[in-house]
Amino acid sequence: MMKKAEVVIIPSPGVGHLVSTLEFAKLLINRNNHLRITILVIKLPHTTETDIYTKSLSNSNSLNIINLPECSLPTNSNLGSAMNAILEAQKQNVKQAVADLITEREDGVLAAFVVDLLTCSALTLLMLLENSPSLRLCSSLPVLLFLV
């Protein structure tokens, strides 16, 4: 049996990003049955929507959902600094989850990373990994133009 190519997707925190990411993953799997997609879920502190949603889903041979541990934030954070703090706090968890995935694979290679542009700090982490898969950014054109 042919080994499935592993794709790791890191959506931005929040259930809205997670729902669209899962639909994207399902489309990829339906088009190519040689893919195995792992979604690393970053939860927002003090919310339950993501937990409720991911518990309603079931992992399959082709789709794996990993809920990263929740991190705490300073109570006086505004939205922008809170998001940066969440992503910074999750770097080690993302690194460990990716390292575990690489270890689990016989060939030790991941085929691709798909990263939401809002999780840019994860890009720094991924560049540090010895594994150098294809990297895709999934954000709308207006967001990308805003950053230029």
Domain-wise residue ranges, the chain: 5-147
Q: How far is 130 from 6, CA to CA, in rounded Å?
A: 16
Has 116 been annotated as catalytic?
Answer: yes
Question: pLDDT tens, 15-72?
Answer: 888 888 888 888 999 999 888 999 999 887 777 777 777 777 776 888 889 999 887 7
- The per-residue pLDDT for 148 is 47
- The per-residue pLDDT for 40 is 92
Question: What is the average pLDDT across 81-101?
Answer: 83
Token pair, residue 79, equals: 């939205």
Has 17 been annotated as catalytic?
Answer: yes
Which band of pLDDT confidence, cut at 50, 70 and 90, is reported for residue 91? confident
- The per-residue pLDDT for 83 is 74
Query: What interhelical angle do 120-128 and 79-104 show, nearest 10?
Result: 30
This prediction's pTM: 0.77
Catalytic residue among 34, 46, 107, 116: 116
Q: Is 50 helix (H, G, I), strand (E, B) or coil?
A: helix
User: Considering the domain 5-147 in this protein, what is its CATH number?
Assistant: 3.40.50.2000
Q: How far is 87 from 82, CA to CA, in rounded Å?
A: 9
Share of the chain above pLDDT 90, in %: 5
- The per-residue pLDDT for 107 is 66
Question: pLDDT tens, 102-112?
Answer: 888 776 568 88
